[in-house]
Amino acid sequence: MEAVGSSLTNKYSKGLPGKRYTACVLWWKWHIDELETLSQKRALDTFHLDGKKWGVNVQPLSGSPANFEVYIAVLNPHDRIMPLRGPRGGMIFFKKDPVLGVDVETAINNAVFPALQSGPHNHTIGGLAVCLKHAQSTKFKAYQNQSSESQKYI
């Protein structure tokens, strides 16, 4: 809650880390880039994905916009889709290699910004980075395992 309720709420950024559309060099811009890069790294680490083969965009405002941004990036009108299993919490993972001649990384990043949303909610990205770090802890994994075991008896 500290990260989500921090002064990151008041910081605006557009674009991707290292490629921001900020008119002037602002002192906090570099910290936002560091935070977003940290969140991306933690997402890849949490899901045991190789950063050389996989990428992640942590800018979607929530799960529904993230789904729609993927649809815009990779689908054409009248294409059929199958939903992903389980919640993804507003993170979009993608393979970095072109799939069927499509540069999925660029397509998804462009669908997020500038196509469907302006600047990301930096305080949410900060909160996500904290949650992903917590999800990597043995205490969290033990809690999740216990929850899974308990739900079998409900």
Residue 14 falls inside a structural domain: yes
Residue 150 falls inside a structural domain: no
Write the secondary structure of the chain as one string of H (helix), E (strand) and C (coil). Answer: CCCCCCHHHHCCCCEECCEECCCCCCCCHHHHHHHHHHHHHHHHHHCCCCCCCEEEECCCCCHHHHHHHHHHHHCCCCCCCCCCCCCCCCCEEEECCCECCECHHHHHHHHHHHHHCCCCCHHHHHHHHHHHHHHCCHHHHHHHHHHHHHHCCC
Q: Tell how far CA 102 is from the center of its chain.
A: 20
User: What CATH number does residue 45 fall under?
Assistant: 3.40.640.10
Name the residue with higher pLDDT: 12 or 40.
40
- Predicted pLDDT of residue 90: 60
- Predicted pLDDT of residue 26: 63
Residue 90 falls inside a structural domain: yes
Residue 142 falls inside a structural domain: no
Residue 143 falls inside a structural domain: no
Domain extent at residue 111: 7-131
pLDDT tops 80 at residue 148: yes
- Predicted pLDDT of residue 126: 93
Average pLDDT over residues 8-36: 79
**How many independent structural domains does the chain possess?**
1
- Predicted pLDDT of residue 85: 62
What does the pLDDT look like over 99-118, one tens digit per residue?
667 788 889 999 998 888 88
Cβ neighbours of residue 135 under 8 Å, at least 6 residues apart?
46
Say how far apart CA 105 and CA 107 lie, in whole Å.
Answer: 6
What does the pLDDT look like over 43-85, one tens digit per residue?
999 999 999 999 999 999 888 888 889 888 888 888 887 766 6
* pTM of the predicted model as reported, rounded to 2 decimal places: 0.80
Average pLDDT over residues 116-127: 89
Residue 61 falls inside a structural domain: yes
